[in-house]
């Protein structure tokens, strides 16, 4: 009788379960550039108020999508973590995703998505043409790099992504960056985020 009474008391004092929704999370640690498959995903039931914007509840909607960033096991997946329009989620209106090819492809390994860089163009050869350098865009965030195992898509052959990165730029920066690699050699400088 005492056990039944204790059970009833606990049931009456326990708050009802919160409304939950289905969300998809990484089933294990996943590298950036991974094309998602069904076994990469885990279905979770989470409280509605914890569901991030741009989340997915349907496994079929994510299959074949490519990760722009690495994910930890159990991390919820949203459109901002995938290659495509979601990469610009949270960027100011009018932002553009601009692909750049760096003059030194190996340097891409030094930068990860989310880091801020200055994009510098160098022209001239230092002999018959004087060498000059110009900052084309300052403190632009990196959205994607080829170093994280990513592929730009089926339209590029193997090796064509070497030294490639994508940055978020405002309209003026995008205008200066578009086609800049045909006018000179592009390099980047890592910069610290401004104190907020």
Average pLDDT over residues 4-28: 68
More confident residue, 13 or 87: 87
**pLDDT given at position 2:** 53
Average pLDDT over residues 136-161: 67
**pLDDT given at position 170:** 93
More confident residue, 5 or 33: 33
Percent of the chain with pLDDT over 70: 81
User: What's the CA gap between 18 and 125, in Å, rounded?
Assistant: 66
Average pLDDT over residues 121-147: 85
Tell me the chain's radius of gyration from C-alpha atoms. 23
Average pLDDT value for the chain: 81
Pairing type for strands 164-169 and 96-101 reads: antiparallel
Query: pLDDT-derived band of residue 186, with 50, 70 and 90 as boundaries?
Result: very high
Percent of the chain with pLDDT over 90: 34
More confident residue, 90 or 59: 59
Domain ranges, ordered by start, for the chain: 20-86, 91-191
**pLDDT given at position 87:** 75
User: What's the CA gap between 163 and 103, in Å, rounded?
Assistant: 7
Q: Output the CATH code of domain 20-86.
A: 3.90.1210.10
More confident residue, 183 or 129: 183
More confident residue, 4 or 176: 176
Query: pLDDT-derived band of residue 34, with 50, 70 and 90 as boundaries?
Result: confident
CA distances from 168 to 2, 90, 123, 189 (A): 65, 11, 23, 15
Per-residue pLDDT at 174 exceeds 90: yes
More confident residue, 31 or 149: 31
Query: pLDDT-derived band of residue 161, with 50, 70 and 90 as boundaries?
Result: low
**pLDDT given at position 126:** 64
**pLDDT given at position 40:** 94
Outline where DSSP puts E strands in the chain.
20-26, 41-47, 96-101, 116-123, 132-145, 164-169, 185-191
Total-model pTM: 0.62
């Amino acid at each position: 009788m005492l056990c039944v009474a204790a059970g009833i008391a606990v049931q009456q004092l326990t708050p009802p379960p919160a409304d939950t929704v289905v969300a998809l999370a990484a089933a294990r640690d996943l590298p950036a550039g991974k094309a998602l498959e069904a076994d990469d995903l885990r279905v979770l039931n989470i409280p509605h108020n914890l569901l991030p914007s741009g989340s997915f509840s349907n496994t079929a909607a994510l299959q074949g999508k490519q990760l722009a960033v690495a994910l930890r096991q159990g991390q919820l997946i949203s459109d901002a973590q995938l290659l495509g329009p979601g990469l610009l989620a949270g960027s100011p209106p009018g932002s553009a995703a601009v692909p750049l090819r760096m003059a030194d492809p190996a340097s891409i390994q030094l930068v990860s998505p989310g880091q801020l860089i200055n994009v510098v163009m160098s022209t001239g050869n230092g002999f018959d043409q004087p060498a000059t350098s110009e900052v084309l865009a300052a403190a632009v965030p990196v959205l994607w790099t080829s170093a994280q195992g990513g592929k730009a898509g089926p339209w590029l052959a193997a090796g064509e992504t070497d030294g490639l990165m994508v940055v978020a730029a405002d309209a003026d920066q995008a205008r200066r960056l578009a086609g800049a690699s045909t006018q000179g050699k592009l390099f980047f400088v890592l910069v610290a985020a401004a104190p907020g």
